[in-house]
Amino acid sequence: MTDKKEKSGYSFGNTGFLPQEEMLETGKKKQKLIIGIPKENTKNESRVALTPEAVEILVNSGNEIVIEKNAGAAANYIDSHYSEVGGQIVDTASEVYQCDIILKIAPPTIKEIDLCKGNQTLFSSLNFPSQSEEYIRKLMQKKITAISFEGLKDKENCYPVVRSMSEIAGTTSILIAAEQLSNVHKGKGVLLGGVTGITPTEVIILGAGTAAEYAARAALGLGSFIKVFDHSISNLKRLQTNLSERLFTSVFHPRVIKKHLKSADVVIGAMYPGEKGFQFLITEEMVKEMKKGAVIIDLSIDQGGCIETSECRNHNDPTYTKFGVIHYCVPNIASRVARTASIALSNVFNPLLLNIADAGGVQRLLKDDLGLRHGVYVFNGILTNTRIGNYFDIPSKDIDLLMVAF
């Protein structure tokens, strides 16, 4: 009998070593995704993660999309829009939460996590400041891989979801300010902008990031006089370059900003805290000296706000007046324009989901895609976010090390 063994690409037999054909690695096997889109039950959340157009592309690529009844209604997408392009409409959330991938806007509630079958992937916002330890531990118990919208990065090392929502929030903030200055909302009856022979309104913007940039664009388009304050000279220079116009810009200095606040008609708070947070940029004493009927819009209210007099409100009761100044401090401003925001979100998630399918699943893509990996805060039930771990005193592990084992 001839004893043959395969070793190091050669066959060993009674004639010695013989060369064999080289075994090349085959391409990754495409995986069919079963994606669930539940209806948003969080108050004032009107967006939906995928538009019917995106669902059509995903279905035509061989994937299955399960959508809870009326999931897109608040964004003016009716069920037939989805069913006509291959989406499966189901009556209950429990059916949606059996899918392998759950795509949701607001973080799921504890009851919604309980509906999950386990060993799934959850894409949603995290909203860390408002989360509880129970929320994190529930995800861990279900062995869910949780990926936050806020943490996702693209190939340019930017945050696509954060950027798109910031663009919308910045532009919308100026439209809101215009409403609040008008007589219709019992404002001063001032036109936000400028017309011939009349001094233009003054708009102060705190911050020079994406939301600030788009607020400035909208205000400039209306003819307002813009003043931008930021801690970073480089951010201010970038803003000047992007807008292609000379603006009044300044680094933060209490005396300087206090002086300019006295003549401001609108103040847009677009500064977001880092992990250590920061002190209020506008104090209560500064607000007291502002013009009566001026408007404050704090876009960072979901992170605690950057103005001392800011109080978190909702879309049903968005405004209040303090020291004669109208305040609009509502998180999730993008939900005011839910259809536009849904299209922007869908533009991010649709290609991401197609990449996941082409890669052969979420875990396979996580190995190669650092941007997707950056959004993971729970992986197969293991907490991978150090900040969350320190806050709740839960042990966490480095996801880069975990990737080696999977």
Q: Is 160-331 in the same CATH topology as 34-151+350-405?
A: yes
Number of Cβ within 10 Å of residue 17's Cβ equals 12
What is the per-residue pLDDT for 129?
Answer: 73
Nearest in space to 77 (alpha carbons), one of 38, 105, 51, 43: 51
What 3-state class would DSSP assign to 6?
strand
Q: Return the H-helix or E-strand segment holding 339.
A: helix 338-359
Q: What is the dihedral of CA 324, 326, 327, 328, to 10 degrees?
A: 170
How far CA 178 is from CA of 194, 206, 265, 326, in Å, comes to: 12, 18, 10, 12
CATH number for region 160-331: 3.40.50.720
- Could you read off the pLDDT of 241-290 as tens digits, one per residue? 999 888 899 998 989 999 999 999 999 999 876 544 556 889 999 999 99
What is the per-residue pLDDT for 15?
Answer: 46
Rounded to whole angstroms, how far apart are CA atoms 46 and 341? 9
Rounded to whole angstroms, how far apart are CA atoms 150 and 146? 12
CATH domain 34-151+350-405 topology: Rossmann fold (3.40.50)
> Domain residues of the chain, as ranges?
34-151+350-405, 160-331
What is the per-residue pLDDT for 405?
Answer: 73
Where the chain has pLDDT below 70, the residues are: 1-28, 273-279, 406
Residue whose structure tokens are 């011939």: 196
Nearest in space to 328 (alpha carbons), one of 278, 267, 279: 267
Rounded to whole angstroms, how far apart are CA atoms 77 and 17? 67
What is the per-residue pLDDT for 1?
Answer: 45
